[in-house]
Amino acid sequence: MAPLIHFLFRTLSLLPLPVLHALGWVLGWASFVLSGRYRRRLLAHAKQAGYSTGVALSSVGEAGKLVAELPRLWLGRPVRVQWRGAEHIEAAQVGGAGVLFLTPHLGCFEITAQAYAERFGARHPMTVLFRPARQAALRDLVASARQRPGLHAAPTTLAGVKQLIKALKVGDAVGLLPDQVPPDGQGVWAPFFGRDAYTMTLSARLAQSGHTKVLVSWGERLSWGRGFRVHVRPLDSLDGDASVAARQINQAMEALVRECPAQYLWSYDRYKSPKTSR
């Protein structure tokens, strides 16, 4: 199974981005039509956030594109990337600060780390938390794709967290998806679009690690396969209380989603109960 999947990914990585996005659009709608659970969750979450059915339906094809573009991003030639706010990264690095990037499940979150590694990683690499793929056939492929010059992966363990803290203290960068549901005991309940969601406290802990600058970012997927635009902006200082900081981070993620709600992954099970830590 693994050789077949690797062959498929390498073959797809050769295709132009517009073709992959077209295939992804079809894949997204096929999933929406065939899976009632997927469909109900996507529509319910968009409605919870106050968005119309039209916005929710616009996100269906974008979710498919998110999957279809991965072979190209992981194994193919570089894609076109534009920047909005790169000066905030440069300013933080000039001041010697470590940079903590907080990125929601919006647009192409894979490209934000890759684009940083390509432009800034030679001097200050980025470390991202890495959760191994559930499918054994994908595990090696994903691991190798996310380990590249200027980009390091840290496991979702205590050792991995220590690796993140160390990176920030030496002035490097760390990337997190703060709207990802953490295991039980590693978060607090905080509002996200008007409904309590279990929210990680790791973001706030890392923000208080030494001289750290917090930036929010997201990778906009441009139409017709024209590439991506990475948006970066600073986040005001976070409160020292974990519960308050979690609310602040959720509010910051909401603000990013409002910029392009059609590219948010509404199907992500944001409001689920956390898994019990073992």
CA 64 to chain centre: 15
Q: Provide the pLDDT for residue 1.
A: 65
Q: 196: number of CA atoms within 13 Å, CB side? A: 8
Note whether 217 and 230 are within 8 A (CB): yes
In a domain, 268, yes or no: no
In a domain, 251, yes or no: yes
What is the pTM (predicted TM-score) of this model? 0.93
In a domain, 38, yes or no: yes
Q: What does the pLDDT look like over 222-241, one tens digit per residue? A: 999 999 999 999 997 788 88
In a domain, 149, yes or no: yes
In a domain, 274, yes or no: no
**Residue 198 to residue 190: CA distance in whole angstroms:** 6
Q: Domain of 56?
A: 2-263
pLDDT 10s digit of each residue in the chain, 278 long? 667 887 889 999 999 999 999 999 999 999 999 999 999 999 999 999 999 999 999 999 999 999 999 999 999 999 999 999 999 999 999 988 999 999 999 999 999 999 999 999 999 999 998 776 677 667 777 777 777 899 998 888 889 999 999 999 999 999 999 999 999 999 999 999 999 999 999 999 999 887 899 999 999 999 999 999 999 999 977 888 888 999 999 999 999 999 999 999 999 999 999 977 55
> Tokens standing for 115?
């684009």
In a domain, 271, yes or no: no
Rg (CA), the chain: 18
In a domain, 45, yes or no: yes
**Residue 81 to residue 61: CA distance in whole angstroms:** 21
Note whether 55 and 49 are within 8 A (CB): no
Q: By CB neighbour count within 10 A (0-12 exposed, 13-18 middle, 19+ buried), where does 87 fall?
A: exposed
User: What's the total number of domains in the chain?
Assistant: 1
Q: Strands of 228-234's sheet, edge to edge? A: 81-84, 228-234, 212-221, 98-102, 173-176, 126-130, 151-155
